[in-house]
Amino acid sequence: MLRRFLKALLCNAFKNLLGLGLSAKRCNLVPIATDFNMIDLDTTQSHHRLNIDASQLSQGLCGKITIPGDKSISHRALMLGSLAEGETTIRGLLLGEDPRSTAACFSAMGADISELNSELVTVRGIGLGNLREPLDVLNAGNSGTTLRLMLGILASHPDRFFTVTGDRSLRSRPMSRVVNPLRQMGANIWGRENAARAPLAIIGQNLKAIHYQSPVASAQVKSCIMLAGLMTDGETMITEPERSRDHSERMLSAFGATVTVDIDSNTVSVKGGAKLVGQQVTVPGDISSAAFWLVAASIVPNSDLLIENVGINPTRTGILEVLAEMGADITYENRREVTGEPVADLRVRSADLKACRISGAVIPRLIDEIPILAIAATCAQGTTVIADAEELRVKESDRIIAMVKEMTKLGATVTEHPDGMEIVGGKILTGTDVESYDDHRVAMSLAIAALVAKGKTSINRAESAAISYPSFIPTLQTLYS
């Protein structure tokens, strides 16, 4: 009965994926799975276990897929649409759990947000400064972007009281990196460990503009301060040690804010007193989601995969630069611009990868892709060193510990360092039981590793993939059907 249920579930998922642009064409194989011997999602326990047996994989990963909308852009479209005057339409919104948390929080504060879907979402904003006090605690779920960016908005709404929290993972993550600069602006924020951990309580104030010298290159820190600066008198500036992703700068400008960017000094500024006006937003595919397939098609022999509609914002293309340095065969097709964001289709074919060093200025531009790059490194000839990536320790899990432990279980030779890891490539992986740590990027990275492992790999708590990529497992099942 379970098999029949799962087959029906996959058939429905497959039909939905066809609507999203997933092609079943792949190396002369049939278009839909008829058994689950190779990839089986076990939902009989409270936490789902994804079982992958790569011994039955006889051909490469071929065809074409369209990935879900960019998570970073989805968050910002919902937030700015809520703060704008008039109507904002969003096409291609990511339907993961994180954007749902953002939508729920801003709906609770008065924004009129239609039912979320990937086709068309309508947001009727209430205007900057007009958020209402919510009747209950705002819950950001697992989303650090929701909580950190929202803090800048809430702190700048005078004479209103807000309480924010998240799930157990989010409540353990550091908030002082945004709370400290907000306090410099005059924010009143209280919480555990001197407001270093959620839950947090905020009483909105009239904030003052500052020039903040950020000790870390973080788009979340930068965006939080920029959003707080929208309602100040004056110009708020943020200087980073390295350039971080610039989706906030682009979207704030599109919505009507006055934003200045100095690339040479890694400084951005926003003028207070802005009036935001609703816009039409089309969300490109998330390069962080594409990264799993870029690596999968690179390391699985005889692969030829086209990934359509991928955002290639230059502050996010570190993954493409590093894979190119490793010898990956990736070409850009149909380059274009969508709502101010550069987009392309990416064709990737299997290749013999070589080791490299991943460190320095590129790290902020691929911090979320390091787990899957670590998997690529296990298949590369030589020793790959990942450094300057201590930020990984304060993600949904300590991703350095998580990836070192789980790759070691699979038979990889990995050494942990305080700011990264060292991976000796070329060793055949062996399937075993591994743990996702409820971290979506760890779960999906281990699933890709399983495709080149000998024998069966079982990934515990695989449902965490839905946080950023709800259709990841159905896509994986369909491509390998």
Q: Taking Cα atoms as reference points, which of 191, 164, 174 lies closest to residue 106?
A: 164
Residue 81 clears pLDDT 50, i.e. is over it: yes
Residue 212 clears pLDDT 60, i.e. is over it: yes
Q: Which residue has the higher pLDDT, 48 or 281?
A: 281
Is the link from the previous residue into 199 a cis peptide, with omega within 30 of 0?
Answer: yes
Burial-class residue 279 by CB neighbours within 10 Å (0-12, 13-18, 19+). buried
Residue 22 clears pLDDT 90, i.e. is over it: no
235: number of Cβ within 10 Å: 15
Decide if 368 is catalytic. Answer: yes
Q: Give percent above pLDDT 70 in the chain.
A: 92
Q: Taking Cα atoms as reference points, which of 161, 20, 150 lies closest to residue 98?
A: 150
pLDDT band (50, 70, 90) for residue 156: very high
Q: What is the mean pLDDT of residues 240-261?
A: 96
Please provide the average confidence, as pLDDT, over all residues in the chain: 91
pLDDT of residue 402: 98
Residue 340 clears pLDDT 90, i.e. is over it: no
- C-beta of residue 175 within 8 angstroms of C-beta of residue 146: no
Q: What is the mean pLDDT of residues 446-470?
A: 95
Q: Give percent above pLDDT 90 in the chain.
A: 87
pLDDT of residue 37: 55
- 3-class state of residue 189 by DSSP: strand
Per-residue pLDDT tens over the stretch 221-230: 999 999 999 9
pLDDT band (50, 70, 90) for residue 24: very low
- Nearby residues of 423 by Cβ (< 8 Å), 6 or more positions away: 355, 374, 377, 378, 383, 384, 385, 386, 407, 412, 413, 414, 415
- 3-class state of residue 352 by DSSP: coil
Residue 367 clears pLDDT 50, i.e. is over it: yes
Q: Catalytic pick from 368, 419, 438, 439?
A: 368
- C-beta of residue 261 within 8 angstroms of C-beta of residue 268: yes
Cα distance between residue 92 and residue 192, in whole Å? 37
Residue 131 clears pLDDT 70, i.e. is over it: yes
pLDDT of residue 134: 97
Cα distance between residue 69 and residue 92, in whole Å? 5
pTM: 0.86
pLDDT of residue 55: 79
pLDDT band (50, 70, 90) for residue 419: very high
